[in-house]
Structure 1
Amino acid sequence: MPEPTTAPVTAPAETSGAQEYPGVVTGRPAIWLRVEAFAIAVTALAVFATTGEPWWLIPALFLIPDLSWLAYLAGPKAGAWVYNVLHSAPLPLALLIAGHHWQHNALIVAGAIGLLHLGVDRVMKYGLKYDHSFIVTHLGVHGPHKR
């Protein structure tokens, strides 16, 4: 049986200032996360289409999750927590499941638009926030203080 190698595994060169910000995904995994996000956004549109609701609801409700920035008025830790709750999959998936179970279109619409928002944000490299900074996400660094 061959001996396992003991050579250290080296990571590819970091890009986009990720060396200064540990936790920012780079390289191929970042590309795959964006492809996954695109698939989520397209699927959310397909689910919305099944509701028969008017399409103007999408632009009317699309930015609702971004109101979570108001939680930053209570501090960065609370802000990041609220932002991440409204920008991750469990809540919109729960709304979709509840809407399907209770045959309630408003819940399905809310879940589909929540997933659409999540997918579009991730495609644009807006990820989940860290407690220490609004501009640092798991997919990149955004804002005027970007290094």
Structure 2
Amino acid sequence: MTPQERAARSAKAMWAQDAASKWLGMELGEVGEGSARLSLTVEPHHCNGHGICHGGVIFALADSAFAFACNSRNQSTVAQQNQITYLAPGRLGETLTAQANETSLQGRTGLTDVTVTGDDGRVIAQFRGLSRAIPGSLFDEGTEQ
């Protein structure tokens, strides 16, 4: 199995169980070894009292992209620590895109950066996640799809 095939199967297995990301309205885009892209169109129920996308929704989008990137090797991996910096508001009706890219993997610990952008390419937020591999996998590599 190639790394790309493993990443695709890992993402498929995770997406099948990811009720939270689906409930929020996220869409899974491209995945690769150590990378993932998710998007979300900002709806009225995503907005806060200022009429802009709630920071928690932006965090959730970045966190989900982080999760798919971290788990792309079929090794169960969870968040150990995350931080986010908000740089611009997400606007009602626009599609936000979170691009996650693993920057370091040392043993069981990984570091992944996620950039959330708006429709016009402006940076909405920068997210950095520290991950930790735990026992388990997303699918049995001894079986075919």
Which TM-score applies when normalising by structure 2?
A: 0.26
User: Relative to total residues, which structure has the larger helix share, 1 or 2?
Assistant: 1
Which TM-score applies when normalising by structure 1?
A: 0.26
User: Relative to total residues, which structure has the larger strand share, 1 or 2?
Assistant: 2
